[in-house]
Amino acid sequence: MTSLNDLPIRDDLRGREPYGAPQLDVPYALNTNENPYPPSEALVKAIGAAVTGVAGSLNRYPDRDAVALRSDLAGFLNRDTPGADLTERRVWAANGSNEIIQQILQAFGGSGRTALGFEPSYSMHPIITSVSGTRWINAHRDEDFGLEAERAVAAVEEHRPDVVFLTSPNNPTGTALPLATIEAVLGAAPGMVVVDEAYAEFRREGTPSALTLLPRDPRLIVTRTMSKAFAMAGARLGYLAADPAVIDALLLVRLPYHLSAVTQAVARTALAHEAELLGSVDALRRDRDDVVAWLRAEGHQVADSDANFVLFGRFADRRKVWESMLGRGVLIREVGPPEWLRVSVGTPEEMAAFRTALKEST
């Protein structure tokens, strides 16, 4: 049988492993940061009706620029961050935030260019960077997983990257960045600055969004997703807010008709039911804070979290703990620094199972 190495693939792809968290059939899956609350029966019917509404015209291409969807997304962001003053000309959408990141790197990265990030952070940033032909530079986070402005600026001034990735709240640590750090990086960066806010809706009260900085700098891009707080991971819809010129740049690299009519219809229906879908966010925040307090009471180290997950440790052998919990039906994530594990915030029943399994595994 022919192996991958027998094919004439690009040399820089040889030896790589495909990205992917384990997808296992377990009673308690707490490893991919999904919203654990499914859509209501009423919303399921509304989504079905929306899909039926476009099904009769699937012989035609969808709206190539998804204008109506982008307008709806702009409306949501304006409600989320009053004063953002966004319109569809300042918003772009694609198949998940990963395609958004890919399009950004296709437009602003590439051969001979560099992208810089501060790890531990979202593992797809360096993966997509490398696959796009861009060189990745890891500038590292602080010991407490934060990022001081002076440290970030020093790294930017040293490497002069074409693209800087800042993740807030950060995955896998959950830590949010102060606006002062983002502003400092914008002042020092020679190229684009991407603030990945995939978990922004879960941030604690008083934690600002980088959306407030958009009017000040056309090189800032803020990315979001409907996979997390909106509980639409299966819909695959990511988006960004930026200067209209950035949108024009992305139009040069996007694939024609990249968002299907079905995807657009489902996403617009979800946005129309924003109150229901985001109704679980407050409960997930409270449950996150509860599990942080419980873990610390149990003697574990825990990173401060503004997301819907918690990074905790430290374990001399985290694989042993992970396997023990899996044997008890609880799937969490081996990710980030070697001595740490990450748990997504689930339902009260799921979190009770997590607590029991962790106590029995440590």
Per-residue pLDDT of the chain in tens (362 residues, 90 and over written 9): 888 888 998 988 888 888 878 889 999 999 999 999 999 999 999 999 999 999 999 999 999 999 999 999 999 999 999 989 999 999 999 999 999 999 999 999 999 999 999 999 999 999 999 999 999 999 999 989 999 999 999 999 999 999 999 999 999 999 999 999 999 999 999 999 999 999 999 999 889 999 999 998 999 999 999 999 999 999 999 999 999 999 999 999 999 999 999 999 999 999 999 999 999 999 999 999 999 999 999 999 999 999 999 999 999 999 999 999 999 999 999 999 999 999 999 999 999 999 999 999 99
Task: Quote the strand ranges of 6-127, DSSP E.
Answer: 28-29, 91-94, 114-117
Name which of 102, 93, 94 is nearest 72 in CA terms. 93
Q: What is the dihedral of CA 65, 67, 70, 75, to 10 degrees?
A: 170
What is the value of pTM for the model shown?
Answer: 0.96
The angle, 0 to 180 degrees and rounded to 10, between the axes of the packed helices 124-131 and 96-108 is 40
What distance in Å separates the CA atoms of residue 85 and residue 82, rounded to the nearest whole number? Answer: 7
Q: Classify 336 in phi/psi space as left (phi over 0), alpha (psi -120 to 50) or beta.
A: left
Q: What is the dihedral of CA 119, 312, 361, 285, to 10 degrees?
A: -120
Q: Are 157 and 122 in contact (CB under 8 A)?
A: no
Which value, in Å, is the radius of gyration of the alpha carbons in the chain?
21
Q: Strand 238-242 relative to strand 309-313: parallel, antiparallel, unpaired?
A: unpaired
Could you tell me the two tokens for 142? 């602080």
DSSP SS3 for 199: coil
Identity of residue 357: A
Q: Which residue is listed with tokens 């209501």?
A: 40
Could you tell me the two tokens for 76? 């949501």
Name which of 64, 66, 92 is nearest 257 in CA terms. 64
- What is the dihedral sign for C-alpha 115, 121, 126, 128? negative
Name which of 122, 81, 138, 90 is nearest 311 in CA terms. 122
DSSP SS3 for 135: strand
